[in-house]
């Protein structure tokens, strides 16, 4: 009976692992895990492909080479702080995609703890948010243009009111002059 239970448990574990890997490779985010000290120990093939490198490269060389040089100090600081405090981390920064262009990503990391409360692994995702940021920039630009047009329209309306008031005043003056001549 023990052998049958082991096969059943082994089969269930393999099925669970297969489900996890299928999910991890097919969601539209990059998925990774890291050891308690922050070193990557798992990266999906899709994640490596997104960045145009191999899984082995990411596991051996780390993620820092993918980060835009201007964003690297903040990214390292926030990750170091998360490792030190054990608190979840979230940051937006630019990562180099497989096309060589940098795109903003939202990186999140949460710790997994054992029963003693010690961190045994970090689970993380990187979500490419460049399209959303571009849409936000486009909306801000449109709003600024609408506000500018509203200000210009209001200024034009004020000018028209002033011109109308001047015309009404001039008409009243002319009418007074005509009455005075009669």
Q: What is the pLDDT of residues 82-94, one digit of tens each?
A: 999 999 999 999 9
Among 4-18, 19-33, 78-92, the range with the most confident prediction by mean pLDDT is 78-92
Residues 121-148 pLDDT 10s: 999 999 999 888 888 888 888 888 888 8
| Cα atoms in the Cβ-side hemisphere of radius 13 Å centred on 82 | 26
3-state secondary structure at position 31: strand
Q: How far apart are CA 31 and CA 24, in angstroms?
A: 6
- Residue 68 makes CB contacts below 8 A (sequence gap 6+) with 93, 94, 95, 96, 102
Q: Is the pTM of this model over 0.75?
A: no
CA nearest to 78, candidates 69, 88, 70, 68: 88
Beta bridge partners of 106: 92, 127
């Amino acid at each position: 009976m023990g052998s049958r239970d082991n096969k059943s448990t082994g089969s269930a574990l393999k099925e669970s692992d297969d489900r996890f890997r299928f999910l991890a490779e097919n969601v539209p985010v990059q998925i990774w895990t890291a050891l308690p000290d922050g070193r990557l120990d798992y990266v999906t093939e899709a994640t490596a492909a997104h960045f145009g490198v191999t899984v082995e490269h990411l596991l051996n060389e780390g993620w820092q080479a993918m980060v835009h040089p201007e964003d690297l100090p903040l990214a390292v600081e926030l990750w170091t702080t998360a490792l030190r405090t054990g608190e979840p981390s979230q940051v937006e920064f630019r990562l180099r995609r497989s096309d060589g262009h940098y795109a903003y990503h939202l990186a999140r990391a949460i710790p997994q703890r054992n029963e003693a409360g010690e961190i045994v692994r970090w689970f993380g995702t990187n979500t490419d948010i460049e399209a959303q940021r571009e849409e936000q920039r486009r909306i801000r630009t449109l709003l600024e243009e609408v506000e500018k047009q509203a200000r210009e329209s209001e200024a034009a309306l004020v000018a028209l009111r002033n011109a109308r008031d001047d015309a009404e005043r001039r008409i009243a003056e002319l009418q007074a002059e005509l009455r005075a001549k009669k």
